[in-house]
Chain A
Amino acid sequence: MPETVTVAVNGVSVTMPVGSMVSAAILKTGVTTFRRSATGEPRGPLCGMGRCFECRVTIDGEEHCRSCQTVCRDGMDVRTDG
């Protein structure tokens, strides 16, 4: 049995293998817009390694978390700004 964790992305539950990043969980739910840019464009992850800050989302109430550097924990509440 593979170990999994379940997080909520905009209220939708998604189950991921242990060690998965929040960015992968968000994309798995079908959400591609992680945030809106300064002029309102949709944006999602670019570099996948914590440098571009395009994948910022709100995690458990804390804004501007880089979802590609944050490991999924059971019960996490993730909100995109799409």
Chain B
Amino acid sequence: MVDVMVVGAGPAGLAAAYRAAQAGLRVVVIDDNPAAGGQIWRGEEAKPTSPEAQAWFEKIRGVDIQLITGARVFQQPHPGTLLAETSEGVRELKYNSLVLATGACERFLPFPGWTLPNVMGAGGLQALVKTGLPIEGKRVVVAGSGPLLLAVAAYLRGRGADVLLIAEQASLVQLAKFAVGLVGKRSQAFSLKRQLRGVRYLSGCWVVAAHGAEKLESVTLSCGGKIACDYLACGYHLVPNVELAELLGCVVENGSVSVDQFQQTSVANVYSAGETTGIGGLELSLVEGEIAGLAIAGKHEEARSFFRVREQQRKFAKRLNRTFALREELKQLPAPETIVCRCEDVTFARLTAHRSWREAKLQTRCGMGPCQGRVCGGAVEFLFGWRAESVRPPVLPVRVESLIRSVE
């Protein structure tokens, strides 16, 4: 039994763990990935490039936290206990308080050819390059929406990729309004601008089709032109990962976990911080994590001292999400034969006949494959306005031994 269990070792989870451990609580952090850092700080612990990440990892090393990596939480047999599958088998984890810092995933929208190999998420390609994929000299089109596109393009370019262009679906007018509000982030913006000098940035433009036989060969853009490329890095901003929160019965509104002022969810002693509570970026994730950790440690007054920063970051997040709101035309992207559910190969035409995801699931198996709707969920939400109605254990595919263990 530990005092605090944190699911997710990204910035929010680490900040929560740090604050709780600093107060003398016994803390365990668990993550599916082989190392801590989440997506944004992937690889930063071993080879730091960001001073902020380095500072946080130093803080973490200064307190007593147990980190369990390569473990996927798949089931809550009863409140206060979680089961996680690791390479050594199932681990039963008991806790007094829980922090869900499960982060976010890119939103993927289906378009003709999006299932071809070498069509990836923007963060997806970045993750692959960070973990060993040589990208030097490869022609890359970066497309979709959100600030991530710029960061990914700059990163890939820094690793020698030939970034042909960035296609951002948001209009120039929207982007200009946002830029005015970027005062506090000026230095970041300048440094990105320098790294991306000479790369074409097309606003109000998106990829309408990817072409190729066995893998990607070229893409067609909405603003005209067919471009030969090796990789398409395409993601439409981010969607919070809420399936574990839903499994635990936490209230989820508009796709984000609802929390009170101390980051507590609708379930007592279950907290949530970071992108899971709404897309807001690194700084908001950190401050939410700190508030959650302090609140669990009973330091509510100290937690309050972070409220002002959190409020500022939430305002920034709101503006960001408005700027990169998806345009209606993107709903026309899939052709009738375009696959929407990649696990079960369910086409757009087969889905249009249904009124809800539940009905579509029963009739077509959409969202019932290994990813359990993690990919097509964000797409059908945008295309049809459907939201998942129920989450059932296991929330991830696990080995049969693990399932047997979970009912023992």
Please determine whether B127 and A49 come into contact, CB atoms closer than 8 angstroms: yes
Residues of A within 8 Å of B125, CB to CB, are 48
Complex CA distance for A13 and B106, rounded to whole angstroms = 33
- Residue of B at shortest CB range from A33? B117
Residues of B within 8 Å of A21, CB to CB, are 128, 131-132
Residues of A within 8 Å of B119, CB to CB, are 46
Please determine whether A39 and B345 come into contact, CB atoms closer than 8 angstroms: yes
What is the interface of chain B, defined by CB distance below 8 A to chain A?
Answer: 32-35, 39, 43, 46, 70, 105-106, 108, 115-121, 123-129, 131-134, 214-215, 241, 339, 342-345, 369-371, 374-375, 397
Please determine whether B108 and A46 come into contact, CB atoms closer than 8 angstroms: yes
Given the interface pairs A47-B105, A49-B123, the reply to whether A24 lies near B128 with Cβ below 8 Å is yes
Please determine whether B118 and A53 come into contact, CB atoms closer than 8 angstroms: no
Complex CA distance for A56 and B123, rounded to whole angstroms = 18
CB contact list, A44-81 vs B, under 8 A: 44-54, 56, 64, 68-72
Cross-chain pairs A/B with CB under 8 angstroms, 26 sampled: A19-B132, A20-B132, A23-B128, A23-B133, A24-B129, A24-B132, A32-B117, A38-B369, A44-B120, A47-B106, A47-B123, A49-B33, A49-B105, A49-B124, A49-B127, A52-B342, A53-B369, A53-B397, A54-B342, A68-B127, A68-B128, A68-B131, A69-B33, A69-B34, A71-B34, A72-B132
Looking at the assembled complex, report how far the CB atom of A77 sits from the nearest CB atom of chain B, in whole angstroms: 16
Residues of A within 8 Å of B215, CB to CB, are 32-33, 42, 44
- Residue of B at shortest CB range from A72? B132
Report which residue of A16, A33, A50, A64 has the largest number of chain B beta carbons within 10 angstroms of its beta carbon. Answer: A50
10 nearest CB pairs, A to B = A20-B132, A44-B117, A48-B127, A24-B132, A48-B124, A32-B117, A21-B131, A53-B370, A24-B133, A38-B345
Complex CA distance for A48 and B124, rounded to whole angstroms = 4
Q: How large is the interface on A (under 10, 10 to 19, 20 to 34, 35 or more residues)?
A: 35 or more
- Residue of B at shortest CB range from A39? B345
Classify the interface of chain A: helix, strand, loop or mixed.
Answer: loop
Residues of B within 8 Å of A56, CB to CB, are 370
Residues of B within 8 Å of A51, CB to CB, are 105, 241, 371, 374-375
Complex CA distance for A39 and B337, rounded to whole angstroms = 13
Please determine whether A45 and B33 come into contact, CB atoms closer than 8 angstroms: no
Please determine whether A46 and B34 come into contact, CB atoms closer than 8 angstroms: no
Residues of A within 8 Å of B131, CB to CB, are 19-21, 23-24, 68
Please determine whether B32 and A45 come into contact, CB atoms closer than 8 angstroms: no
Looking at the assembled complex, report how far the CB atom of B284 sits from the nearest CB atom of chain A, in whole angstroms: 20
Please determine whether B118 and A44 come into contact, CB atoms closer than 8 angstroms: yes
Residues of A within 8 Å of B129, CB to CB, are 24
Residues of B within 8 Å of A68, CB to CB, are 127-128, 131
Please determine whether A45 and B34 come into contact, CB atoms closer than 8 angstroms: no
Please determine whether B33 and A19 come into contact, CB atoms closer than 8 angstroms: no
Residues of B within 8 Å of A50, CB to CB, are 32-33
Residues of A within 8 Å of B128, CB to CB, are 21, 23-24, 27, 45, 48, 68
Looking at the assembled complex, report how far the CB atom of A76 sits from the nearest CB atom of chain B, in whole angstroms: 13
Looking at the assembled complex, report how far the CB atom of A39 sits from the nearest CB atom of chain B, in whole angstroms: 4
